[in-house]
Chains A and B, each alone.
Chain A
Amino acid sequence: MKITNLTVSYDGMPVIDRLNLEIGDGITCIMGESGLGKTTLLHTIAGLIKPDSGEIEGAPVRPAVMFQEDRLLPWFSALKNLETVCSDTGRALEMLRAVELEEASDKLPDELSGGMKRRVALARTLLFDSDMLILDEPFKGLDEALTGRIARLIREVKVPVIVATHAESDVELLGAKKIVLRKQDLNRESLSGDITPED
């Protein structure tokens, strides 16, 4: 996927300013400090935000997004939340088992802990038949052991995966390429310039 001169702004204020970026196959971790525009970039790639200008070549047609917040439907159980993206109950249950939540299948999101909700959200993302996975801080609220087991699931995915994260350890855990975004033009207080991937 090739991003050229991408500019995205909110109420006239540019959040991303003329960004050039290339993201290859496999897993890519996008890192950078908070408030830099990582989530905006992910949402733009997913087609949720329309950029002011620029081009995204090879943008996903059916992305599966794991949002920064869990965004589970509060009136549906964990299993039913998964069934909104896949009508095969067997597969949905299998996915719940994979994220170690089989016993919580009938629980409503309100009855789940933060980490459990995160896993349901990830399960929903993994279950969706997509051409790219976009994960915004997927390990937030998970303990170390669980993070390792969940990372294994992500590593098995066959489509390109983009992960926004703060933790350097996530890159290693996922065996991912790393892109560090920097605030290159402090005067404009926006993200700009060319970013080169670091392997």
Chain B
Amino acid sequence: MAQTFTSKKKLNKWLKLAIAVAFWLTVWSLASAIVDKELLIPSPVVVARRIGGLLFTGTFWLKTGVSLLRVLGGFLAGCVGGILLSVLASVWDVADAIISPFIRIIRSTPVTSFIILVMLWIGYDFVPVFIAGLLVTPIFYANLREGIDETDRKLLEVAYIYKFGKRKTLKAIYIPSVKPYFVSAAVTSLGLAWKAGIAAEVLCLPSISVGREMYYSKLYLETPDLFAWTVVVVVFSIVFEKIFERMVLKNKKKEVRDNEDN
């Protein structure tokens, strides 16, 4: 009975998704038909044909792969940076006074300013890595700071009374308390890092990159190509998010299993 209910729910979910996709594809097709200029709005069929063509070229996978690696590198660096800075600022007031204004500046400065500046400082190939990291760091920093601050003081008193020590307090109290904040930061920043990384590629044109392809599509007025690459970026952004959500879910299930084993 429960299984039937779950599969019905899943079917509903897919049906809803199919309806939404069909609706927006229709809107796109209509807009393209009304404008009737491929240069401005190519039809979904043309774009799909272009994506199909791209998928069978080796360079597509190479370019997408290299762009992905750049963004993931930046994401991981930003994640580690955010963790380190938030821990440092939480345990040391002086560090907090130094780091907090720096984070505020990063958050309020337009990404383009950073891209242009960083282009002058380091090699073009590394700008997207740096930019992705720079955008991700404040998100992790703010979320983890909040998580650390919100850690239940009463549980910390338990740790003090029962002589947990630093390592056990970290493992048994801080990490589980901060985990939801970490997951939320990761989900928010993953898509953002990908989009900012591609934007940086468009501006600094690293030799092998999705951003370079998008730039040249625009330059040579190859609008179907521009749409095709944009669709690729969107699809990867969604795939990232889904993969991460699955990882979180799997981890949750593992935790429940671990508890049951005990």
Residues of A within 8 A of B (CB): 46, 48, 62-65, 67, 69, 71, 73, 75-77, 79-80, 83-85, 105-106, 108, 124, 128
Contact = CB atoms under 8 A, between A and B. Distances in A.
Nearest to B163: A62
A71 B154 contact: yes
Contacts of B260: 77, 106
B161 interface: yes
A73 B176 contact: yes
Given A75-B176, A84-B172, A48 B262 contact: no
Contacts of B261: 106
A73 B161 contact: no
B164 interface: yes
A128 B155 contact: no
Contact of A73 (B155, B163, B255): B155
**Chain A interface secondary structure, helix, strand, loop or mixed?**
loop
Contacts of A73: 155, 158, 172-173, 176
B259 A77 contact: yes
B157 interface: yes
Given A67-B154, A73-B173, A80 B255 contact: no
Contact of A84 (B164, B255, B262): B164
B92 interface: no
B262 A77 contact: yes
Interface in B147-164: 154-155, 157-158, 160-164
Contacts of B49: none
